[in-house]
Amino acid sequence: MPETNKQIRLASRPSGWVTPDNFTLTEEAAPEPADGQLLLRNIYMSVDPYMRGRMNDRKSYVEPFGLGEVLQAGVVAEVMESRSDKFSAGDIVTGMAGWENYSLHNGADLRKIAPGPAPLSYHLGILGMPGMTAYVGLVGIGEAKEGEQVYVSAASGAVGSVVGQIAKNLGCWAAGSAGSDEKVALLKDELGFDAAFNYKTTDSLHSAVHEVCPKGIDVYFENVGGAMLEAALFNMNPFGRIALCGMIADYNVKPEEMPPGPRGMILMVGRSLKMQGFIVFNYPELCQEWVAKGSQWLNEGKLKYRETVAEGIENAPAAFIGMLKGENIGKQIVKLADE
Amino acid sequence: MPETNKQIRLASRPSGWVTPDNFTLTEEAAPEPADGQLLLRNIYMSVDPYMRGRMNDRKSYVEPFGLGEVLQAGVVAEVMESRSDKFSAGDIVTGMAGWENYSLHNGADLRKIAPGPAPLSYHLGILGMPGMTAYVGLVGIGEAKEGEQVYVSAASGAVGSVVGQIAKNLGCWAAGSAGSDEKVALLKDELGFDAAFNYKTTDSLHSAVHEVCPKGIDVYFENVGGAMLEAALFNMNPFGRIALCGMIADYNVKPEEMPPGPRGMILMVGRSLKMQGFIVFNYPELCQEWVAKGSQWLNEGKLKYRETVAEGIENAPAAFIGMLKGENIGKQIVKLADE
């Protein structure tokens, strides 16, 4: 039988940047599944930028986290005990569960992971939501085609690093930006980007984007918002597409201080540009397509993937805050238990 | 033989608002067609917002007007003399020609108008580029469907007034904004809009838009930019579409003073919004579809249409400036000669 269950709860809603005191660690007896329920032993959990939005008490595409409640995350877990027809004890599954060691689950939106050569934690990253997001945004929304010019911001992140590699595998020019020289070197030397720059040490974002995309941009994969969106906008080619995945720069802003948008919106008219926000869950067929294609590319050595792994549920808040500040390289994972 | 030819030329490029001294009136002998050319007698010419962009010396989807050269406009004209196989003397045609009484033309992109019950000038308006623009933006880019909520800015203009009427004919809610109480009354009492407001006398654009679209906006047809785009953005429903037709507010701005874009771009992500600029000429099939559908609706009394007609080439600059300032009601036409 499981020991006690450590949990991270939302102690208070952040106003601006998230701080450690927005979280609290509690400990209680491990739960027992009722009829129809599963008891999950969480092995890996994911921390992702979208969670910042759920910490606000504001209408969005998912419900806000409740004050005092256990936070939710994508996990890879083992079914320890099943009182449901859908899953059996011993199954390895992925889906949403609590920031905790043991979770009760009704099985909805839980997906069984077939055994394969890829590490289990990859299903929270390159083969999970971030990889699916990269594929849906670049191919579905961005309509990237062979020979086109692709630029991605936050390019060394969980999503961006996959965007650039998909672009290269499709025969596109792939350029990106990141927040340190180390990350820029990773993009160019390890992930195969054609060009990249450090946005923190550049004088002019407009010029820097032009330098990494000298033929302009056909697809911009937007992860950061703010001044970067403006710099990309001015460099877009006619009929370019901007896939709006996230805007980290705007997540930590109080509503009353929401910054103005990019200058040059009028370029959208003259150059026939498309800008479109998307939520990966609304494109289930493309997601399936990605799991197949991504697995194949991984096997063929056509995709490289890095993780930053924190250990223990106690360290999940720090891992989350670090990810929001860009301290991780690749996908930020929290390991909660041994496989 | 034609008498002398009066012409309006670009005397200087405007910096900010267009003024009368940006134009000059010249007079010369009427031209004679060379082999392959037509001599056109211009009957009606159109003044349109996009012309403001061509007065700048800036790369856009069409070439800038040349300094000292005769300005170009959409015209309805009679072929006086033809030295081309494509057209015969007496044909009534529409296409681009000079701001002048008589033009030489090589026949490219010139379209013969079949006789019909609609007045000839309608082919510069509701059956011409503005009507086509309304249809392409609302149906092609905006993907408006029966039962949806449509909002259009500059709603009493040449394009906006057609957008609202198409929306009603498709079974949508149609709301609009305009710059005077007279125009608002026109929208509601004559053109069949469900709701409309005067943006010049409202305290809060955000609230005003909400009041005319209490169920939110599924399709926003954008004609003005600036603060209006922001107000619409905050009122968009999930999966809403913003068709970017023009941004009058930004046409008269010096590049170095280009204003910031709308706040709340992050809503594009959470609500899965699409924003897309378009140029009507890139959708020839939808344009053809409109000429057929628009003619049918006009015959059935399902479309109302108003024109403001200035008389004489000398008055074209004033008509153009007045149109940019919103002084016209409906399509602004300049009549150059009797039919």
pTM attached to this predicted model: 0.81
Residue B181: domain span: 129-283
Q: Which of residues 174-233 of B touch A (CB under 8 A)?
A: 225, 229-230
Same domain, residue pair A9 and A85: yes
Q: List chain A residues with CB under 8 Å of B259.
A: 263
Q: Is A60 an 8 Å CB contact of chain B?
A: yes
Report pLDDT for B61. Answer: 59
Q: Is B254 an 8 Å CB contact of chain A?
A: no
Model confidence pLDDT, tens digit, residues A149-163: 999 999 998 899 999
Strand order in the sheet with B173-178: A195-198, A173-178, A149-152, A217-222, A236-244, A274-277, B274-277, B236-244, B217-222, B149-152, B173-178, B195-198
Same domain, residue pair B112 and B142: no
pLDDT band at B339 (very low <50, low <70, confident <90, very high): confident
Same domain, residue pair A114 and A135: no
Same domain, residue pair A215 and A316: no
Task: Take residue A169 and report the two structure tokens written for it.
Answer: 């595998």
Same domain, residue pair B172 and B98: no
Residue B245 inside a domain? The answer is yes
In A258-325, which ranges are E strands?
A: 274-277, 307-311
Distance CA A69, CA A75 (A): 17
Residue A294 inside a domain? The answer is no
The answer to whether the CB atoms of B271 and A277 lie below 8 A apart is yes
Interval B184-212 mean pLDDT: 97
Same domain, residue pair B43 and B144: no
Q: List chain B residues with CB under 8 Å of A229.
A: 265
Residue A297 inside a domain? The answer is no
Interval B228-254 mean pLDDT: 85
pLDDT band at B95 (very low <50, low <70, confident <90, very high): very high
Interval A236-242 mean pLDDT: 98
Residue of B nearest to A271 (CA): B61
Q: Count how many domains chain B has.
A: 2
Residue B293 inside a domain? The answer is no
pLDDT band at A248 (very low <50, low <70, confident <90, very high): low
Q: Is A114 an 8 Å CB contact of chain B?
A: no
Same domain, residue pair A74 and A137: no
Report pLDDT for B327. Answer: 87
Mutation target vs B (from A51, A62, A244, A257; most B CBs, 10 A cutoff): A244
Say which CATH number the domain at B237 has.
3.40.50.720
Same domain, residue pair B113 and B232: no
Q: Which of B230, B260, B274 sits opposite A274 (nearest CB)?
A: B274
Residue of A nearest to B227 (CA): A260
Average pLDDT, chain A: 92
Interval A298-323 mean pLDDT: 94
Q: ipTM score of the complex?
A: 0.79
Interval B69-91 mean pLDDT: 96
- B39 with B102: CB under 8 angstroms? yes
The answer to whether the CB atoms of B262 and A261 lie below 8 A apart is yes
Q: Is A264 an 8 Å CB contact of chain B?
A: yes
Task: Take residue A107 and report the two structure tokens written for it.
Answer: 């099985």
Same domain, residue pair B18 and B75: yes
Residue A200 inside a domain? The answer is yes
- B264 with B230: CB under 8 angstroms? yes
Lowest-confidence pick of B22-26, B143-147, B155-159, B173-177 = B155-159
Report pLDDT for A270. Answer: 87
DSSP A20-44: GGGEEEEEEEPP---TT-EEEEEEE
Share of chain B above pLDDT 70, in %: 96
- B8 with B20: CB under 8 angstroms? no
Lowest-confidence pick of A197-211, B46-60, B220-234, B317-331 = B46-60
Report pLDDT for A149. Answer: 98
Distance CA B278, CA B245 (A): 6
pLDDT band at A329 (very low <50, low <70, confident <90, very high): confident
Residue A293 inside a domain? The answer is no
Q: List chain A residues with CB under 8 Å of B267.
A: 277
Q: Which of B61, B261, B275 sits opposite A270 (nearest CB)?
A: B61
The answer to whether the CB atoms of B262 and A260 lie below 8 A apart is yes
CA atoms A156, A158, A159, A164: torsion sign: positive
Between β-strands A149-152 and A111-112, what pairing exists: parallel, antiparallel or unpaired? Answer: unpaired
Following CA atoms A318, A324, A325, A330 in sequence, which dihedral angle do they give, to the nearest 10 degrees? Answer: 90
Model confidence pLDDT, tens digit, residues A26-67: 999 999 999 999 999 999 999 988 899 899 987 665 689 999
Say which CATH number the domain at A47 has.
3.90.180.10
Same domain, residue pair A139 and A66: no
The answer to whether the CB atoms of B262 and A259 lie below 8 A apart is no
The answer to whether the CB atoms of B264 and A279 lie below 8 A apart is no
Mutation target vs A (from B265, B268, B274; most A CBs, 10 A cutoff): B265
Residue B297 inside a domain? The answer is no
Same domain, residue pair A26 and A161: no
Distance CA A282, CA B264 (A): 22
Q: What are phi and psi of B190, to 5 degrees?
A: -110, -40
**How many A/B residue pairs have CB atoms within 8 Å?**
112
Interval A177-187 mean pLDDT: 95
Mutation target vs B (from A239, A251, A268, A271; most B CBs, 10 A cutoff): A268
Q: Is A325 an 8 Å CB contact of chain B?
A: no
pLDDT band at B320 (very low <50, low <70, confident <90, very high): very high
**What residues contact residue A99 under an 8 Å CB cut-off, 6+ apart?**
A7, A8, A45, A70, A71, A72, A73, A313, A316
Same domain, residue pair B268 and B199: yes
Lowest-confidence pick of A144-153, A247-256, B184-193, B257-266 = A247-256
Model confidence pLDDT, tens digit, residues B244-264: 997 765 655 665 577 888 888
Q: Indicate if the pLDDT at residue B235 is higher than 90.
A: yes
Q: List chain B residues with CB under 8 Å of A263.
A: 258-261
Residue A114 inside a domain? The answer is yes
Task: Take residue B131 and report the two structure tokens written for it.
Answer: 């009507």
Q: Is B276 an 8 Å CB contact of chain A?
A: yes
CA nearest neighbour of A323 among A49, A65, A52: A49
